[in-house]
Amino acid sequence: MESRRTPVPAPDRAASGTPAAPPGSRGALVAGSVGNFIEWYEFGVYGYFATIIAARFFTPEGGSEVEALVKTYASFALAFFFRPVGAVLFGRMGDRVGRRPALILVVLLMTGATTLIGLLPTYATLGAAAPWLLTGLRVVQGLSAGGEFGGAVSVMTEFAPPGRRGLYGAWQSFTVALGLLGGAGMAALPATVLTGAQLHAWGWRLPFLLALPMGLAALRLRLRLEETPSFRRERPAVAAPPGEVAKAITLGAGRLMGWSAAGYTFLVVLPSYLQSALNATFQQALVATVLANLGFAAAILPAGALSDRIGRRAVMTAGAVLAVLLAFPLLRLLRDPGVSTTAQGLAVCAAGAVVGLMAGPGPAMLAEMFPTRVRHTGLGLAYALSNAVFSGCAGLIITETVKRTGNLDIPAYYVAVTCAVSALALATLRGDDHHRALRD
């Protein structure tokens, strides 16, 4: 039986005639964004410290470093495959009980699991139990991350003023960039001030432990969060047809494929690829990643705002096509010893900006695909499936394929193929979806 909800009056209009933002929209934007920051901060830290985690948790005496790195990325991928489960569990909670309680629970789980990784004994202390415990905590993170996206984007877009959903939704992606940058900064800091032995012994734990105070701050903000006007509004008790929802989820995952694959290849997997394939130092790899993430962050909000003017399809398709065109030149430029460091830095920055063109309008595009009663679940599941397959497996696929073939262009093939398919899926978008009201 459907619960009744109190009708919510339509938002007032400003004197200029422009619809005013719903009350609490700014607070909702902050509360929705902060959880994304913590989630991607942790996933970034794990990716940046992948080689150290491999040595501490997945390398028994006599084990191969490459084999350990592959196992580390397998654990990384496993967490992503639990994201769809989390999207369904927390999405159903968000669609039936409310966005607020679901978002409170996911930030508690993410914070607890991340903090425990920073306290976890290594293989040298626990033996074979250490990688299993680490993987278990990664599963908890995957579940909570699966519920985070759908709830956060629902809150941001449902509170957004008319004509600004692209910009409001882009804050989800922008805080992803800030989280990755924060993770890179907190990885670079101990790597700079500590010796190599100190970094491997205990310094790598510090960024994970920092998640505890950040999570408590996020929890406080979410406890103050109000339910969205769309969720509280009374609607006819007619459920969306399951077949229609399933089709939208599949199509949404296809539209996000390029964002997922290119984003993780350029923004997270790049450090380990540079170290293992191109013999870069840890510090050099981190600098390249910071530059890529700066380009990513700089493009997101303008891309979201631009999509409110010319449409999601035009902006996201441009990003997917540019990623296809730039993937091979980028890797070859990075491998060319005759190219200046400045030129290489600008190239990785541009690669990040291309991903930002897809990431900025992406959340609003997904929110517009689903009615309110299934929005949290539907958009969360589409995003989680895309990330599970094309982000979570990126490090594993790239590392293992380069190892087996010796072909250093594998990351470029991965980005080009996925972005080409994504461009085709994006072509099915309506050109005027950004002008339409969210579906009830």
**219 occurs within a structural domain:** yes
For 131-151, give one letter per residue: b (16+ CB within 10 A) or e: beebbebbbbbbbbbbbbbbb
User: What are 326's two structure tokens?
Assistant: 């730039």
Q: Compute the distance between CA of residue 301 and CA of residue 202 in angstroms, rounded to an integer.
A: 37
Residue-level pLDDT at 1: 37
Residue-level pLDDT at 340: 83
Q: Which residues contact 304 (CB under 8 A, 6 or more apart)?
A: 166, 167, 168, 169, 170, 171, 173, 360, 361, 364
**16 occurs within a structural domain:** no
Full residue range of the structural domain in which residue 175 is found: 25-225+241-435
- pLDDT higher than threshold 60 for residue 343: yes
Q: Band the pLDDT of 5: cuts 50, 70, 90.
A: very low
Q: Compute the distance between CA of residue 46 and CA of residue 138 in angstroms, rounded to an integer.
A: 10
- pLDDT higher than threshold 90 for residue 102: yes
- pLDDT higher than threshold 80 for residue 240: no
> Could you give the percent of the chain with pLDDT greater than 90?
40
- Nearest alpha-carbon partner for 123 in 61, 47, 195: 61
DSSP states along 298-309 = HHHHHHHHHHHH
Residue-level pLDDT at 416: 95
Q: Compute the distance between CA of residue 159 and CA of residue 353 in angstroms, rounded to an integer.
A: 27
Residue-level pLDDT at 383: 93
Helix segments in 160-241, DSSP class H: 165-193, 196-198, 205-209, 211-223, 229-232
**342 occurs within a structural domain:** yes
- Per-residue model confidence as pLDDT tens digits over 146-175: 899 999 999 999 999 888 999 999 999 999
Residue-level pLDDT at 11: 43
> Could you give the percent of the chain with pLDDT greater than 70?
87
Look up residue 204 and give its DSSP letter: T
Residues 238-264 have a mean pLDDT of 88
pLDDT mean across residues, the chain = 84
Q: Compute the distance between CA of residue 294 and CA of residue 347 in angstroms, rounded to an integer.
A: 12
Look up residue 265 and give its DSSP letter: I
Q: Band the pLDDT of 352: cuts 50, 70, 90.
A: very high
Residue-level pLDDT at 17: 47
Q: Compute the distance between CA of residue 121 and CA of residue 177 in angstroms, rounded to an integer.
A: 30
**172 occurs within a structural domain:** yes
Three-state SS at 19: strand
CATH value at residue 403: 1.20.1250.20
Report how many domains make up the chain.
1
- pLDDT higher than threshold 80 for residue 212: yes
Residues 291-304 have a mean pLDDT of 93
How many H-runs (helices) and E-runs (strands) does the chain carry? 21, 0
C-alpha distances in angstroms, 105 versus 84, 140, 223, 245, 385?
16, 12, 10, 25, 21
Q: Band the pLDDT of 62: cuts 50, 70, 90.
A: very low
Q: How far is the first Cα of the chain from the last one, in angstroms, to the nearest whole number?
A: 18
Q: ∠ CA(106), CA(111), CA(115), 5° rounding?
A: 150
**254 occurs within a structural domain:** yes
- pLDDT higher than threshold 80 for residue 357: yes
Residue-level pLDDT at 318: 97
**182 occurs within a structural domain:** yes
**48 occurs within a structural domain:** yes
Residue-level pLDDT at 15: 42
Three-state SS at 276: helix
**337 occurs within a structural domain:** yes
Task: Identify the residue with better confidence: 397 or 354.
Answer: 354
pTM of the model: 0.81
Residue-level pLDDT at 64: 59
